[in-house]
Amino acid sequence: MSDEQYSHRAVAWWTSGRTGLAKCNSAPNAIHFTAPPEFGGLEGRWTPEDLLLGAAAGCFTTTFHSIARSSKFDYIDLEVEAETTVQKAETGYTFNDITIRAHLTVPGEEVRDQALRILEKTRDLCLISRALATRPKLEMQVEVGKGLAVVNNTRRE
């Protein structure tokens, strides 16, 4: 294991009314956020729950791409959806679970088993998923289709 460390930092503050801003050093634009509408937040803004799910989906996507690239695994497309439900518990509101739905399109039936193995490895290695107290459930779907394949970061027919 490498001794390398990477530091990430995000800052959030309440601006006024029912909205706040979050920013980080790695992106030039701040994100406007609010509480969920169920808690009096504004419609049409990111909520912390949305940001968490976006982080889980984004991490899964980038981790899959990295593993596929290092495995020289060609695929056509990957769409990742993260979903949760929130429920009131004795200790406050809590996530029931987080489900990751990975819809992967591959160029042929002969790579289906390898695709499933890489998806499972992605679930196990995704840094955001590993950081969550609630381990994401993974729902996988592999579709065989025709189109462009991603080969070493380059699309080809």
Coil/strand/helix, residue 148: coil
pLDDT digits (tens, 9 = 90+) for 71-89: 999 999 999 999 999 999 9
CA distance 75 to 130: 25
pLDDT tens by residue, 32-52:
999 999 999 999 999 999 999
100 and 123 Cβ atoms separated by less than 8 Å: yes
In one-letter notation, the amino acid at residue 87 is Q
**Per-residue pLDDT at 1 exceeds 50:** no
Residue 136's pLDDT is: 75
Q: Where are the alpha helices (DSSP H) in the chain?
A: 48-70, 112-125, 127-131
116 against 1, higher pLDDT: 116
Q: What is the mean pLDDT of residues 93-100?
A: 89
pLDDT digits (tens, 9 = 90+) for 5-14: 888 889 999 9
List the one residue out of 55, 56, 50 whose CA is nearest residue 32: 50
Helix (H) or strand (E) holding 72: none
CA dihedral (29, 31, 60, 157) positive or negative: negative
Q: How far apart are CA 49 and CA 57, in angstroms?
A: 12
pTM metric for this prediction:
0.80
Tokens of 130: 């590993």
User: Could you give the percent of the chain with pLDDT greater than 70?
Assistant: 90
- Return the residue matching tokens 């290092």: 70
Residue type, 10: A
